[in-house]
A and B are shown apart, each in its own frame.
Chain A
Amino acid sequence: MPNKNAVWQRALRHPSFVAGGAMVLLMVLCAVLSLFWSPYPVGDIDIPNKLASPSAAHWLGTDSLGRDIGSLLLVGSQNSLLVGFIAVGIGLGLGVPLGLLASARRGWVEEVIMRASDFTFAFPALLSAIMLTAIYGPGLVVSIVAIGIFNIPVFARISRGAANAVWARDYTAAARAAGKGPLAITLAHVLPNIASVLIVQATIQFAIAILAEAALSYLGLGTQPPQPSWGRMLNEAQSQMFQAPMLAVYPGAAIALAVLGLNLLGDGLRDVLDPRLARQR
């Protein structure tokens, strides 16, 4: 990217980018930290201490089985991040090449790819994910794959649209006049110029993936016990609604903050990476 320093300086001055970035960074740090340590092991059941209020021993209290909520949140972040990364990775890895192919080849190739993605869009993502888990059994892997599949048409569509705009510019014509073939042009010219669009979309899809995983886990179709999951924590909190209403707030807040942070980061990135704004400075 041209002039990385200038881009960084702009980024660090942009409120959405900084706020969102901080929140996402916090989440990542939590996940990494929880790989090595958490205040309490998440498997530790402590029935006598169940539904405890926040105290010095348990900062956020305990759930219906006496597990430390703080630890559950911390370790639960691992799943959210994992789902986000892999699902978006599937979308990028399969969707972007399809979109680039559609844009480069035009004609019937483009039609087939676009109609296939329309077809996939037509199915409500969450219901289809439920259907897949019903066929293949619930679990983290299946839910990741299900969510990932629905990222493919999103990225295909976006990269095709952005690539079309790049193909219309004179510098791709100049590359053809220089003797470059469509694959070489796609890699050398199209991909770098749509990268910023893809990055922004990736942060948005990441947030959506986290929400989707939480929804699936809430329904019991995602992460299975004993692995903690924010979504499942919400489900468990439901039955304790009247004894310990705060049990639902913690995982809900965690999900909300993760999604908010990613969306802010995405907004900030979009502004920072916009080449038109770059020229104004």
Chain B
Amino acid sequence: MNETSTSAPLLEVKHLGRRFVLPRAGLFQPAGVLQALSDVSFSLQPGKSLGIVGESGSGKSTLARLVMALDRPTEGQVFFNGTDVHQTHGQALRQLRSGFQMVFQDPYGSLDPRQKVLAIVTEPIQSWLKPADGRSELRDRAAQALSEVGLRTADLDKYPHEFSGGQRQRIAIARALITRPALIVADEPVSALDVSVQAQVLNLMMDLQDRYDLSYLLVSHDLAVVNLMCDDVLVLQSGRVVEQGPASQIFEQAEHPYTRALLAAVPGHREDFF
């Protein structure tokens, strides 16, 4: 994107593609193929944020999962800090993962209902804290993470069902922050929240962005949210990139008809009532 930058990109995606083989419709018919993503390339500089915009079926969630190494691509590569994420395994991958974490869309599904908040929030660091460091260290770090998202230490001993949607999303963000990652992949982080709660969580995410120089890879269908949080935008349609560039440019002078259609369809996008 920003070719004049001299520092190495934080995240680099090259010609990423993912193909799914569908179940056969009949015994003698060939199995169908769904190309969920094809030929997606972009790079993300440290401290910058990229918005992935698209509707359902655009492949944006698939892209998020591929970047997070939760799924294997059929074509292409993902490089985090220069290391190919899909060629790294075991302990090395676990180390690498501390640099990038994820926040999921559904605040009700992304937290294990049977675990206390302490266990949920410290899950990313459980595998590499030695037993000698003990539970107090784990608890301290968890308490610190919670305070950063505006929750209290007493909340560590509660269960997810005792919290509202917005609070659960904060817990999810605390979990993502606990390893001090450089990149957070957020898949529709506020779509399931009410407007007033959305605003609180978005403000929190922006505060964290400034405080820790975080990069966000924000997947969203909501153009206004992307506009608020991201420097650059990539528009996906049916698995392909139709337009990408700086956010200001795309939102003001979109070239591709699909991008234009998306912008025009935002309800009440006329700002004359503010």
Contacts and interface: CB of A to CB of B under 8 A. Distances in A.
Q: Do A and B bind each other?
A: yes
Interface of A: 1-3, 169-171, 173-180, 184, 188-189, 192-193, 275, 278-279
Nearest to B94: A179
20 contacts: A2-B161, A3-B159, A3-B161, A169-B110, A170-B104, A170-B105, A171-B120, A174-B104, A174-B110, A174-B175, A176-B70, A177-B68, A177-B70, A178-B126, A178-B127, A180-B123, A180-B127, A188-B112, A188-B115, A275-B113
B101 A2 contact: no
B106 interface: yes
Nearest to A168: B109
Nearest to A2: B159
A197 to B, nearest CB: 13
Contacts of A189: 112, 115
A177 B120 CA distance: 13
Residue among B65, B98, B102, B172 with the most chain A CB within 10 A? B102
B114 interface: yes
B124 A178 contact: yes
A171 B70 contact: no
Contacts of A2: 113-114, 159, 161
- Which 7 A-B residue pairs are closest in the complex by CB-CB distance? A179-B94, A178-B124, A170-B110, A2-B159, A170-B104, A170-B109, A178-B123
Given A2-B161, A177-B68, A180-B123, 5 more contacts: A178-B127, A179-B94, A179-B124, A184-B127, A193-B113
A62 B17 CA distance: 79
Contacts, number: 71
B93 interface: yes
Contacts of A173: 65, 70, 102, 104, 110
B264 to A, nearest CB: 32
B72 interface: no
A279 to B, nearest CB: 7
Contacts of B65: 173
B50 interface: no
Nearest to B68: A177
B97 interface: yes
Given A2-B161, A174-B175, A179 B97 contact: yes
Contacts of A169: 109-110
A177 B101 contact: yes
A2 B157 CA distance: 11
B109 to A, nearest CB: 4
B226 interface: no
Interface of B: 65, 68, 70, 93-94, 97-98, 101-102, 104-106, 109-115, 120, 123-124, 126-128, 159, 161, 172, 175
Contact of B114 (A184, A193, A279): A193
A1 B115 CA distance: 8
Contacts of A177: 68, 70, 97, 101-102, 124
Contact of A279 (B123, B127, B161): B161
Residue among A3, A169, A171, A184 with the most chain B CB within 10 A? A171
Given A2-B113, A193-B112, A275-B113, A174 B102 contact: yes
A279 B102 CA distance: 27
Contacts of B98: 179
Contacts of A275: 113
B52 to A, nearest CB: 17
Nearest to A196: B114
Residue among B105, B124, B128 with the most chain A CB within 10 A? B124
Nearest to B105: A170
A126 B251 CA distance: 71
Contacts of B110: 169-171, 173-174
A188 B102 CA distance: 19
B106 A170 contact: yes
Contacts of A193: 112-114
A211 B65 CA distance: 50
B88 to A, nearest CB: 12
A1 B159 CA distance: 10
Nearest to A275: B113
A245 B102 CA distance: 71
A179 to B, nearest CB: 4
A169 B98 CA distance: 22
A188 B114 CA distance: 10
A82 to B, nearest CB: 32
Nearest to A172: B112
Nearest to B116: A2
B127 A171 contact: no
A171 B111 contact: yes
A279 B112 CA distance: 15
A163 B110 CA distance: 16
Contacts of B105: 170
A174 B161 contact: no
B189 to A, nearest CB: 12
Given A1-B114, A177-B68, A179-B94, A171 B109 contact: yes
B142 to A, nearest CB: 13
